[in-house]
Amino acid sequence: MKRLKFAYQHCQAFVEQNELDALAPAVALAHEQLHEKKGGAGQQFLGWIDLPAEFDQAQIERIGEAAGRIQGDSEVFIVIGIGGSYLGARAATAMLSHSFYNFYPQLKGGRRRFSLWGGRQSAALTCRN
């Protein structure tokens, strides 16, 4: 897997070398804590570090089975949320679909509609008793 490399020459117009040097110890500590998975807040959420080299194949199969059931039982799939419940789905669909996927039948190829509702909810959409 390729490693991310910071090419600082592209930001020299607005970041001084001494500023980068001052940040270097904190960056080194964060890198160590991430890759050694010890220390630092949120260390229990670092499973993504090993992707795609290591993953739970059984989990992938369960996701595929659930997707098949949803596709078979549903005409429309709506994700409602804010934060991770919304943004993860939004990122995946933005990456994998045309911006106007639901509006172009030729792009859908018979697949179901998918809608994301989140980030900008209006008070008019909330349910009241």
**Domain-located, residue 39:** yes
Between 84 and 22, where is the model more confident? Answer: 22
Residues 64 and 119 in one domain: yes
* pLDDT digit string, tens, across residues 27-85: 999 888 888 877 777 777 887 787 777 778 898 899 899 989 988 888 777 777 777 77
Do 111 and 66 share a structural domain?
Answer: yes
Q: Is the domain of 45 the same as that of 70?
A: no
Given a cut of 70, whether residue 114 has pLDDT beyond it is no
Q: Which domain holds residue 24?
A: 8-50
* Residue 88 token pair: 């993860």
Q: How confident is the model at residue 112 (pLDDT cuts 50, 70, 90)?
A: low
16 or 88, which is more confident: 16
Our separate counts of H helices and E strands in the chain read 4, 2
pLDDT band at 105 (very low <50, low <70, confident <90, very high): low
- Total residues found in the chain within this entry: 129
Q: Compute the average pLDDT of residues 102-122.
A: 63
Taking residue 89's Cβ as centre, other Cβ atoms within 10 Å add up to: 19
Q: How confident is the model at residue 98 (pLDDT cuts 50, 70, 90)?
A: confident
Same domain, 113 and 70: yes
- Domain-embedded: residue 14: yes
Give the type of residue at 51.
L
Provide the number of structural domains found in the chain.
Answer: 2
With 50 as the cut, is the pLDDT of residue 129 above it?
no
